[in-house]
């Protein structure tokens, strides 16, 4: 039987506020345990939450960016359960009335097509602390630094049908929240975490199968592997005539498999109810318009502009708008290059990306700035250097030898365009290879490449290849 998988994603994006969602404690990552937890985060008696307005602004931005309804009234609710890293015995979240309602997001697939994925809702909530199970002599340690960190939980419709779509969607959200500057997107530090709901059904069947939820994935690669594993696991069960159990599963990175965490029967009854310590969150039209004005150009708008105004291919535009930072870098390169947009795109996606990957360097730390790269491209387009020499120039810039003009000057890489100079180089080559000249004249025209190569070699690559070709042809006639 052919099985179709149905996937819905819940993404937790940590909002980039300076302080926690309900307390004035700092959200900075990596501090000593329990040094960034105040009485409110500790759930001390008598303390009260006060909503961080910045978190609301960020959630509103997200809602507007996916064309969703931003709720004029939303309600914070308590999700009640006991766990040592949940200090109050409840998490403040949103349940029936989330701040962001139904929206949608266009994703780009590998074959160049696009697909709309529905977003059911996005709501604000606080993160829990962390339980540390090592180094406590058989006991567990609790670190509440993370408790109260603001999260935006983004829930998708079950519109996703493959691991590739799931990844395209997750990456799109990942890029969007960074575009909006509402989340740093740092997956290693847990700023962006994904839960995958996955079920199988026979191809063509409308009804959904029973789903399992894989919790807390913090890399796209793990998510892909977890989905693949889960697809096989559920298929094996179903093909053996068994039933998938509705449960929460964890992906074991070392073993490359998912395992059961808790089943539906063991699941908590969270006893949600509106938090009486917080008033309903009311957002008016004027506020929404104010936030709308703060929105940056969004990835899709930017992509279309890159295609229509900058003349890029859809593929290039898609890659270059993958992150706000990359897009900004590219635009700066193109501007410095005097409008050589296509060449700028090639260099950014080619040499620059390769160098960044090879050296494991972040774009923001690139030794070659956008101005430097653009300046170099300008020297290609005004024929000061050839594309081939440009690679040498780029390498020199990367190793800190200065900008393109400095490198060209210092290393004498300027292209030879003086016909007299090129002629004498060609004469030299013709004189040194009488046999090949004979053969060429006898009709072996393929040898043209050999002569060009020899001339370039003698010129150390600096001769203008077009002129070399032209003059060679004249001389060998």
Partner 1 sequence: MKEKTLAELSALIAQKEISSVELTQYYLDRIERLDGGLNSFISVTQEVALKQAAAADQKIAAGTAGPLTGLPMAHKDIFCTQGVRTSCGSKMLDNFIAPYNATVVEQVSNAGMVMLGKTNMDEFAMGSSNETSYYGAVSNPWDTDYVPGGSSGGSAAAVAARLTPIATGTDTGGSIRQPAALCGITGLKPTYGRVSRWGMIAFASSLDQGGPMAQSAEDAALLLNEMAGFDPKDSTSIERDVPDYSANLNDSLKGVKIGIPREYFSEGLEGGVENVVQDAITEYRKMGAEVIDIDLPNTNLAVPTYYVVAPAECSSNLSRYDGVRYGHRCDDPKDLEDLYKRSRGEGFGDEVKRRIMIGAYTLSAGYYDAYYLKAQRLRRLISEDFSNAFSKVDVIMGPVTPNTAFRKGEKADDPVSMYLSDIYTIAVNLAGLPGMSIPAGFSDNMPVGLQLIGNHFDESKLLNLAHQYQSVTDWHRQAPAGIE
Residues that bind partner 1 (CB under 8 A): 39, 42-51, 78, 80, 82, 84, 87-90, 142, 269, 271-273, 276-279
Q: How far is CA 264 from CA 235, 248, 250, 332, 454, in A?
A: 20, 8, 15, 53, 75
Partnered with residue 192 across adjacent β-strands are: 13
Closest distance of CB 151 from partner 1, Å:
19
Length of the chain: 477
Find the angle CA(296)-CA(301)-CA(303) to the nearest 5 degrees: 115
Closest distance of CB 54 from partner 1, Å:
16
Cα(327)–Cα(323) distance, integer angstroms: 6
Closest distance of CB 349 from partner 1, Å:
49
Cβ-based nearer residue to partner 1, 95 or 394: 95
Residue 172 and residue 154 in contact, taking contact as beta carbons nearer than 8 Å: no
Partnered with residue 47 across adjacent β-strands are: none
Cβ-based nearer residue to partner 1, 34 or 433: 34
Closest distance of CB 282 from partner 1, Å:
12
Cα(377)–Cα(387) distance, integer angstroms: 9
Residue 5 and residue 162 in contact, taking contact as beta carbons nearer than 8 Å: yes
Cα(211)–Cα(215) distance, integer angstroms: 13
DSSP labels for 397-457? HHTT---HHHHHHHHT-PPB--HHHHHHHHHHHHHH-HHHHHHHHTT-TTHHHHHHHHHHH
Closest distance of CB 141 from partner 1, Å:
11
* Number of CB atoms found within 10 A of residue 96's CB: 10
Closest distance of CB 273 from partner 1, Å:
5
Closest distance of CB 55 from partner 1, Å:
14
Of 3, 416, 120, 73, nearest to 274 by C-alpha is 73
Cβ-based nearer residue to partner 1, 19 or 459: 19
**Strand order through the sheet with 212-217:** 103-108, 114-126, 150-156, 3-14, 192-202, 212-217, 247-252, 257-263
Q: Is the dihedral of CA 143, 148, 152, 155 positive or negative?
A: positive
Closest distance of CB 46 from partner 1, Å:
4
Closest distance of CB 44 from partner 1, Å:
7
Cβ-based nearer residue to partner 1, 57 or 302: 57
Q: Is the dihedral of CA 41, 92, 6, 230 positive or negative?
A: positive
Closest distance of CB 271 from partner 1, Å:
4
* Number of CB atoms found within 10 A of residue 445's CB: 10
- Contact partners, residue 353, CB within 8 Å, separation at least 6: none
Cβ-based nearer residue to partner 1, 49 or 103: 49
Closest distance of CB 89 from partner 1, Å:
2
Per-residue burial over 333-355, b if 16 or more Cβ lie within 10 Å, else e, is: bbebbeebbebbbebbbebbeeb
* DSSP 3-state percent helix, strand, coil across the chain (nearest 5): 40, 20, 40
Cβ-based nearer residue to partner 1, 45 or 434: 45
């Amino acid at each position: 039987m052919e099985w179709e998988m149905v996937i819905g994603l819940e993404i937790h994006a940590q909002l980039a506020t300076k302080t926690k969602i309900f307390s004035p404690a700092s959200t900075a990552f990596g501090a000593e345990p329990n040094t960034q937890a105040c009485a409110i985060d500790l759930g001390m008696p008598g303390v009260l939450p006060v909503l961080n307005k910045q978190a609301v602004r960020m959630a509103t931005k997200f809602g507007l960016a996916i064309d969703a309804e931003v709720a004029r009234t939303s309600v914070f609710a308590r999700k009640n359960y006991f766990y040592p890293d949940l200090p109050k015995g409840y998490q403040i979240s949103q349940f029936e009335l989330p701040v962001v309602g139904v929206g949608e997001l266009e994703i780009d697939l590998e074959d160049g097509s696009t697909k709309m994925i529905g977003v059911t809702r996005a709501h604000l909530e606080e993160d829990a602390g962390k339980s540390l199970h090592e180094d406590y002599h058989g006991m567990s340690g609790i670190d509440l630094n993370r408790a109260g960190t603001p999260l935006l939980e983004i829930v998708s419709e079950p519109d996703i049908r493959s691991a590739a779509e799931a990844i395209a969607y997750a990456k799109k959200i990942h890029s969007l929240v960074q575009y909006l500057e509402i989340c740093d997107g740092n997956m290693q530090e847990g700023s962006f975490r994904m839960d995958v709901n996955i079920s199988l059904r026979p191809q063509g069947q409308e009804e959904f199968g029973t789903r399992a939820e894989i919790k807390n994935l913090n890399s796209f690669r793990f998510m892909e592997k977890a989905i693949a594993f889960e697809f096989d696991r559920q298929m094996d069960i179903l093909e053996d005539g068994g039933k998938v159990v509705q449960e929460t599963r964890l992906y074991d990175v070392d073993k490359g498999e998912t395992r059961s965490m808790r089943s539906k029967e063991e699941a908590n009854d969270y006893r949600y109810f509106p938090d009486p310590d917080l008033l309903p969150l009311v957002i008016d039209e004027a506020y929404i318009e104010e936030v709308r004005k703060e929105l940056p150009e969004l990835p899709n708008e930017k992509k279309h502009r890159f295609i229509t105004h900058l003349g890029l291919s859809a593929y290039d535009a898609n890659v270059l708008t993958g992150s706000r930072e990359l897009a900004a870098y590219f635009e700066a390169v193109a501007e410095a290059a005097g409008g050589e947009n296509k060449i700028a795109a090639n260099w950014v996606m080619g040499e620059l990306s390769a160098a960044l990957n090879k050296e494991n360097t972040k774009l923001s730390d690139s030794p070659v700035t956008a101005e430097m790269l653009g300046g170099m491209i300008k020297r290609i387009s005004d024929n000061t250097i050839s594309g081939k020499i440009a690679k040498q120039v780029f390498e020199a810039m990367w190793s800190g030898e200065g900008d393109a003009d400095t490198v060209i000057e210092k290393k004498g890489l300027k292209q030879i365009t003086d016909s007299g100079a090129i002629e004498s180089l060609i004469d030299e080559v013709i004189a040194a290879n009488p046999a090949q000249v004979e053969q060429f004249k006898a009709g072996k025209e393929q040898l043209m490449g050999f002569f060009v190569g020899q001339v370039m070699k003698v010129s150390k690559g600096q001769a203008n290849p077009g002129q070399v070709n032209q003059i060679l042809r004249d001389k060998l006639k």
